[in-house]
C-alpha cells in the first residue's frame, strides 16, 4: 500500500466541530432545520366524466385520469393520510376553440367540487383555472390573429373561477399566465359574492420542458407554436419577482412558483420579500424523472423524493403541490423524525 502523505497536523479548534451534532439520529433530529408535514402537501387530481373510470397516465406511474366518484374516494384516502389539499384539473369530453368546457357547470371539475364538498373532508379544495385543458388547440387562452389574446381570455377565466367557487372551491389557481388574471378573478369572485374564495396565483410560471407528462395527461400539448409568448422565460429572476409583485397588487392570497426544483432561488427571494404563503409546484416532469430513475434502480425513490421535497421547503415554500403527496405522507408517518 502507498504510504500516506504526512501532513503537518493542524489542530481543529474545539468550536469548529459541526460533526458533534450529527453523531446520533436523536441529535440530528433535534437540530433539524426543515421538517416536512403531510399537511403542507397538495395532490393534483385529473378528473374526467362518467363513473368508476380510471385511465392510467403512463408517464406518471400511480396516477390516472379519474371520474368524480373515484376522485372522492382518492381524496378520502389523502385526507386519512393527512395530506393538506387537492388541486383539481378537468379533462372535458369535448374540446373546442374557445375552451367553453372550462366554465361548464356540469363539467368534471365543478361536478367533483360539489361531490367533494358534500363529502366534507378535512382537505382544502383547490381548482386550477386555465383554458389549455379545454381548448382544441391546447393554448391557455383564446386565439386571435394566430396569437393568444390576453384580454379576450380574462373574462373566460373569471367565469370559470366563479363556476368553481359556486361549486365549492376554497381556492382557485389561475395558471394561464395572462396579464391581469388575478385582478380579473378577484373582481368577478367578489361580484358573485365569493369574497371568501382565495386565489393561489401561479405568479412565476416558466415556459418549461418539465410539463410534458402533465400535457400527456391533459391532452393539452399546443397544436401549434409553444407557450413562450405568455409563460415566463426561465432565464429571468428579476422578471419573476415582478410577476409576483404584480399578483400581490392584484390581490393574490398565495403566491406560487413553478417548476419547483429549477426555481429554488426564486422561492428563497420570494420568501424574503413577500409575507403571504408561498407555494411551489413540483411538476410532472420533475416527478417523472424520479420515477424513471427509480424504475431502473438508479435512485432510491423514497430518499430521493424526500430530499427533493425538503429542498423545496428549505428554499422557502410552505405549500408543495406534488404528485408524491400520498407516498410522501406515508413516508413521513413511518418516520416522523424527519
Which of 88, 140, 261, 309 is close enough to bind ligand PBG by CB under 6 A?
A: 140
Closer residue to ligand PBG (CB): 222 or 273: 222
Minimum CB separation of residue 121 from ligand PBG in Å reads 23
337 contacts 29 by C-beta, under 8 angstroms: yes
Rule CB under 6 A: say whether 280 interacts with ligand PBG: no
Q: How far apart are CA 96 and CA 83, in angstroms?
A: 34
State how beta strands 64-67 and 41-48 pair: parallel
CA dihedral 139, 280, 240, 90 (to 10 degrees): 20
Which of 284, 312, 319, 332 is close enough to bind ligand PBG by CB under 6 A?
A: 284
Rule CB under 6 A: say whether 279 interacts with ligand PBG: no
Minimum CB separation of residue 284 from ligand PBG in Å reads 3
- The torsion region of residue 247 among left (phi > 0), alpha (psi -120 to 50) and beta comes to alpha
Rule CB under 6 A: say whether 132 interacts with ligand PBG: yes
| Cβ contacts of 246 within 8 Å, gap of 6 or more | 179, 182, 203
Rule CB under 6 A: say whether 130 interacts with ligand PBG: yes
C-alpha cell, 157: 377565466
Nearest to residue 102, comparing CAs of 138, 64, 132? 132
# residues near ligand PBG by CB under 6 A: 11
- 89 bridge partner residues: 46
Closer residue to ligand PBG (CB): 117 or 215: 215
Closer residue to ligand PBG (CB): 119 or 311: 311
Rule CB under 6 A: say whether 283 interacts with ligand PBG: yes
Q: Rule CB under 6 A: which of 207-246 touch ligand PBG?
A: 211, 214-215
Closer residue to ligand PBG (CB): 69 or 216: 216
- 278 bridge partner residues: 255
Q: What is the H or E stretch that residue 310 is in? A: helix 301-315
Rule CB under 6 A: say whether 324 interacts with ligand PBG: no
- Using CB under 6 A, list all residues that contact ligand PBG: 128, 130, 132, 140, 175-176, 211, 214-215, 283-284
Amino acid at each position: 500500500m502507498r504510504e500516506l502523505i504526512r501532513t503537518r497536523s493542524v489542530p481543529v479548534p474545539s468550536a469548529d466541530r459541526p460533526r458533534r451534532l450529527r453523531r446520533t439520529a436523536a441529535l440530528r433530529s433535534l437540530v433539524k432545520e426543515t421538517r416536512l408535514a403531510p399537511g403542507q402537501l397538495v395532490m393534483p387530481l385529473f378528473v374526467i366524466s362518467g363513473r368508476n373510470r380510471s385511465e392510467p397516465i403512463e408517464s406518471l406511474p400511480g396516477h390516472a385520469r379519474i371520474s368524480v366518484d373515484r376522485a372522492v374516494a382518492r381524496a378520502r384516502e389523502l385526507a386519512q393520510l393527512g395530506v393538506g389539499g387537492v388541486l383539481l384539473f378537468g379533462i372535458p369530453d369535448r374540446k373546442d376553440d374557445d375552451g367553453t368546457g372550462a366554465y361548464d357547470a356540469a363539467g368534471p371539475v365543478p361536478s367533483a367540487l360539489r361531490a367533494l364538498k358534500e363529502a366534507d373532508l378535512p382537505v382544502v379544495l383547490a381548482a386550477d383555472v386555465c383554458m389549455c385543458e379545454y381548448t382544441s388547440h391546447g393554448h391557455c387562452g383564446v386565439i386571435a390573429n394566430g396569437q393568444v389574446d390576453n384580454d379576450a381570455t380574462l373574462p373566460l377565466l373569471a367565469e370559470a373561477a366563479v363556476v368553481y367557487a359556486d361549486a365549492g372551491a376554497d381556492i382557485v389557481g389561475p395558471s394561464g399566465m395572462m396579464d391581469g388574471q388575478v385582478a380579473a378573478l378577484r373582481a368577478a369572485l367578489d361580484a358573485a359574492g365569493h369574497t371568501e374564495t382565495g386565489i393561489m396565483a401561479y405568479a412565476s410560471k416558466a415556459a418549461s420542458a418539465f410539463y410534458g407528462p402533465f400535457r400527456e395527461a391533459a391532452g393539452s400539448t399546443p397544436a401549434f407554436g409553444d407557450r413562450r409568448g405568455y409563460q415566463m422565460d426561465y432565464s429571468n429572476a428579476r422578471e419573476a419577482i415582478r410577476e409576483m409583485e404584480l399578483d400581490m397588487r392584484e390581490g393574490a392570497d398565495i403566491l406560487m412558483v413553478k417548476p419547483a426544483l429549477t426555481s429554488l432561488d426564486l422561492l428563497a427571494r420570494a420568501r424574503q420579500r413577500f409575507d403571504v404563503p408561498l407555494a411551489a409546484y413540483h411538476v410532472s416532469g420533475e416527478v417523472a424523472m424520479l420515477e424513471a430513475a427509480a424504475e431502473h434502480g438508479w435512485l432510491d425513490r423514497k430518499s430521493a423524493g424526500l430530499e427533493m421535497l425538503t429542498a423545496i421547503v428549505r428554499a422557502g415554500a410552505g405549500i408543495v403541490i406534488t404528485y408524491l403527496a400520498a407516498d410522501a405522507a406515508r413516508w413521513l408517518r413511518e418516520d416522523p423524525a424527519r
